């Protein structure tokens, strides 16, 4: 008889240095004292002596060595943890990307493997690594976060605990050398560790934690809302998908990513357009959004027809940047025609923002 799935607990923060790893190890000690079988599957101290000291007394599973481009890298040894099969495993840095050649691409995929085998996992992550917030984080910080965790993965957590610290207190820790060495600390203060950015990230983390509590406490039932996200070959579609999916999650709504092409399937499209659409539809599927390809010559009528037939309550469309109005006039026309054809449906037009320039 297959083992019951393990429970996931996520210790959430809004920046490095707030105390997530220390809290994870602290909980490991408490659980071990209660008689539970606890191991540390992965631990990243970042040179913080108080965190390193807290590891003492906990069993640490040795890391796996992965060779890549004639260099040796250390990764969590998921197979060794499965063989050891503890009751509870502590795993640091949930969003981490594994070195190519590892059995799985992401550490959160390793964690899912442990959960499927019946092992409970306590893990850590910062709010800026949540997939649906990627664009908001980029806009407020100017930094594109590359390592992300899909929202559906976080939503399967039985518990999300916020490790909170005021931005002022975190900056004080940074100045005292508790978070990073002095040179790295100064670079951090010039980039991600600006106080307004930290305050905004902290607010995101507070809101996400409250939302997670609502999700866990809400009784199961039929979704009243159904959301349609219009998928095109435009680069702005990625941000649109994230925005629509986040709204769908908050409303506990069913979500569809829909593209309209003149002909059956994508095969007849120009290669560049086909590749972009396939990439965007695949991105939607990874977020657990149902995808549809509609065969129609008129995208506005097709979207409105699909919406009425499938009980859609909200439509998300991308609005072109005003500076490129002449080039993207057909998309402007599409927005107006959908608004007219779907007067009884809420239509949200999301601005096509350009990413900030990287230094």
Confidence category of residue 325, pLDDT binned at 50, 70, 90: very low
Residue bearing the bigger pLDDT, 35 or 341: 35
What are the tens digits of pLDDT across the range 242-252? 999 999 988 88
Q: Which CATH number fits domain 8-217: 3.40.640.10, 3.30.420.10, 3.40.50.10860, 3.40.50.300?
A: 3.40.50.300
In the block, tokens 């469309």 appear at 317
Residue among 206, 136, 201 at smallest CA distance from 171: 201
Q: What is the CATH number of domain 226-351?
A: 3.40.50.620
**Radius of gyration of the chain measured on its C-alpha atoms:** 23
Tell me if 320 sits within 8 A of 328, measured CB to CB.
yes
Tell me if 151 sits within 8 A of 246, measured CB to CB.
yes
What are the tens digits of pLDDT across the range 106-147? 999 999 999 999 999 999 999 999 999 999 998 888 888 999
Q: Determine the pLDDT at residue 357.
A: 41
Per-domain boundaries in the chain: 8-217, 226-351
Residue 31 has pLDDT above 70, yes or no: yes
**Residue 290 φ/ψ, nearest 5 degrees:** -75, 135
Confidence category of residue 320, pLDDT binned at 50, 70, 90: low
Q: Determine the pLDDT at residue 322.
A: 54
What are the tens digits of pLDDT across the range 177-232? 889 888 888 888 888 899 999 999 999 999 999 888 877 766 655 457 999 999 99
Q: Which of 83-92, 253-262, 341-350 has the lowest mean pLDDT?
A: 341-350
pTM above 0.85, yes or no: no
Helix (H, G, I), strand (E, B) or coil at 328: coil
CA–CA dist 147, 268 (Å, integer): 34
Share of the chain above pLDDT 70, in %: 91
Whether 8-217 and 226-351 share one fold: the answer is: yes
What are the distances in angstroms from CA 21 to CA 44, 86, 90, 96, 99? 8, 19, 9, 14, 22
Residue 164 has pLDDT above 50, yes or no: yes
What are the tens digits of pLDDT across the range 4-23? 899 999 999 999 999 999 99
Q: Determine the pLDDT at residue 181.
A: 85
Tell me the HSE value of 277 on the side-chain side, using a 13 A CA sphere.
21
Tell me if 299 sits within 8 A of 262, measured CB to CB.
no
Residue bearing the bigger pLDDT, 3 or 251: 251
Q: Residue 275 is inside which H or E element, if any?
A: helix 271-286
CA–CA dist 346, 349 (Å, integer): 10
Using CA of residue 300, residue 306, residue 309, residue 314, what is the dihedral sign? negative
């Amino acid at each position: 008889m297959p083992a019951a799935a393990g429970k996931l607990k996520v210790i959430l923060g809004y920046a490095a240095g707030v105390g997530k790893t220390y809290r994870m190890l602290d909980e490991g000690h408490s659980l071990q004292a209660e008689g539970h079988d606890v191991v540390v599957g992965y631990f990243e101290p970042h040179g913080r002596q108080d965190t390193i000291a807290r590891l003492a007394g906990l069993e640490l599973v040795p890391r796996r060595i992965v060779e890549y481009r004639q260099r040796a890298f250390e990764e969590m040894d998921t197979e060794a943890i499965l063989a050891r099969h503890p009751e509870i495993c502590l795993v640091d840095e949930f969003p981490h990307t594994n070195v190519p050649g590892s059995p799985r691409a992401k550490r959160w995929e390793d964690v899912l493997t442990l959960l499927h085998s019946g092992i409970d996992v306590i893990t850590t992550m910062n709010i800026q690594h949540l997939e649906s917030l990627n664009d908001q984080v980029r806009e407020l910080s100017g930094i594109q976060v590359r390592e992300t965790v899909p929202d559906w993965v976080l939503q399967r957590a039985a518990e999300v605990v916020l490790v909170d610290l005021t931005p002022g207190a975190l900056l004080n820790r940074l100045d005292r050398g508790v978070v990073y060495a002095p040179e790295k600390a100064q670079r951090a203060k010039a980039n991600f560790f600006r106080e307004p950015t930290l305050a905004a990230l902290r607010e995101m983390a507070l809101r996400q934690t409250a939302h997670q509590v609502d999700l866990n406490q809400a009784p199961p039932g039929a979704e009243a809302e159904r959301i349609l996200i219009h998928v095109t070959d435009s680069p702005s579609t990625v941000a649109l998908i994230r925005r629509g999916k986040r709204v769908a999650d908050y409303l506990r709504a069913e979500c569809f990513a829909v593209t309209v092409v003149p002909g059956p399937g994508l095969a007849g499209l120009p290669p560049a357009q086909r590749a972009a659409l396939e990439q965007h539809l695949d991105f939607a599927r990874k977020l657990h959004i149902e995808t549809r390809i509609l065969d129609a010559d008129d995208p506005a009528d097709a979207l409105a027809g699909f919406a009425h037939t499938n009980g859609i309550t909200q439509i998300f469309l991308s609005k072109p940047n005003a500076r490129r109005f002449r080039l993207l006039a057909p998309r402007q026309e599409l927005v107006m025609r959908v608004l007219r054809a779907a007067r009884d449906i809420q239509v949200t037009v999301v601005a096509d923002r350009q990413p900030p320039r990287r230094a």
